[in-house]
Amino acid sequence: RAKQQGQTRSCVFDAVMHQSAQGRLALERDLRQALKDEAFELLYQPIVRLPDGELTGFEALIRWRKPDGSRVFPGEFIALAEETGLINPLGDWVLREACRQIGQWQRNEGAEQDFYISVNLSSVQFFQANLIETVRSAMSEHSVQPGQLKLELTEGILVDDNPQIVDRMRQLLAMGCGIMVDDFGTGYSSLSYLQRFPLEVLKIDQSFTAKIKESTGLHLVRAIISMAHALELGVIAEGIESEDVAHCLAGLGCELGQGYYFARPLSADQAGRCFESPQAAIGAHQKGHH
């Protein structure tokens, strides 16, 4: 089709393609350098009990700190990191850093309290040959106890019938790493995987949470929660932005949630202060950054 539209059109198209290939190369080069410089940072978003906001744990969310002080969001670099394989060293860093933080909180602010950090695992990383070893050594280096590290996987991994997936999950579970399904409801998989895999929690995607004030949205969220409970899975609602929505979810029996209403993703120092009072997470959204 581009051919039919003549030379000019296809020259412009080539120029755009070329530019974006260069842009990708530059991004890849910068990512490699950032890995060497350890220019990444984890922010921690509280996961709280509904509706009162009592802290139960945190989700770790990666940011890339640029030399000029700006922060780059994962949406801008995770996909390229996956394509180039850089996600493996990057993901290893995230696991070790989260475990280091667990160890530090356990010795200090969080000593009196049960808590966990959940880490997002890319599917590329899940299939990495030495994943189990990486998790095991990160946990033991920082004396992480069973239940303190959880892993978030997207439905993409769960469509596969590959028996290795179940094996791998069992090994992770045996180490005390519960597995959550992230962005539940946005994948294309059948629901049968929910029975096939040893899962702990469904995280309702924020696109559903956002529509809970509409009647079809409400029906959908109610159905997800009752299905999760029938399968003896926990439920976390993502993207809670108002008190109304928190109460509505609690009324539907959703026990856990996270979102800007309770707290934005916080720096490790800010997150550490959430241990001071059981409901410190509420209102932290005024102090947090992105």
Nearer to ligand C2E, 14 or 83 (CB): 83
Residue 183 lies near Mg ion (rule: CB under 5 A): yes
Does 182 engage in binding with Mg ion (CB under 5 A)? yes
Does residue 155 belong to the site contacting Mg ion (CB under 5 A)? Answer: no
Contact residues for 53 (Cβ-Cβ < 8 A; gap 6+): 246, 262, 279, 281, 282
- Contact region with ligand C2E (CB under 6 A), list: 50-58, 133-141, 222-230, 257-265: 257-265
- Beta-carbon contacts of residue 12 (< 8 Å; ≥ 6 apart): none
Tokens of 218: 């409400």
Selected from 260, 267, 268, 279, the binder of ligand C2E by CB under 6 A is: 260
Q: Cis bond leading into 51, ω under 30°?
A: yes
CB of residue 17 vs ligand C2E: minimum separation in angstroms? 26
Which residue's CB atom is positioned nearest to ligand C2E? 259
Which option in Mg ion, ligand C2E, none does residue 103 bind, with CB closer than 5 to 8 A by kind? Answer: none
Please tell me whether residue 62 binds ligand C2E under the rule CB under 6 A.
Answer: yes
Choose which of 110, 178, 265, 272 interacts with ligand C2E (CB under 6 A).
265
We find the least distance from the C-beta atom of residue 201 to ligand C2E, in angstroms, to be 13
Q: At what angle do helices 163-174 and 131-141 cross, to 10 degrees?
A: 10
Q: Is 30 in the site for ligand C2E (CB under 6 A)?
A: no
Looking at 158-166, 233-241, 246-254, 275-283, which segment touches ligand C2E (CB under 6 A)?
233-241
Distance CA 119, CA 62 (A): 9
Contact between 242 and ligand C2E by CB under 6 A: the answer reads no
| Residue placing its CB nearer to ligand C2E in the complex, 94 or 225 | 94
Map 68-131 to HEC letters: CCCEECHHHCHHHHHHHCCHHHHHHHHHHHHHHHHHHHHHCCCCCCCCCEEEECCHHHHCCCCH
Residues in the chain: 290
Contact region with ligand C2E (CB under 6 A), list: 130-138, 155-163, 220-228, 234-242: 234-242
- Determine which residue in the list 92, 97, 152, 155 makes contact with Mg ion, applying CB under 5 A: 152
Binding region for ligand C2E (CB under 6 A): 45, 61-62, 73-75, 78, 91, 94, 120, 122, 152, 182-183, 206, 238-241, 258-260, 265
Q: Which residues bind Mg ion (CB under 5 A)?
A: 120, 152, 182-183, 238
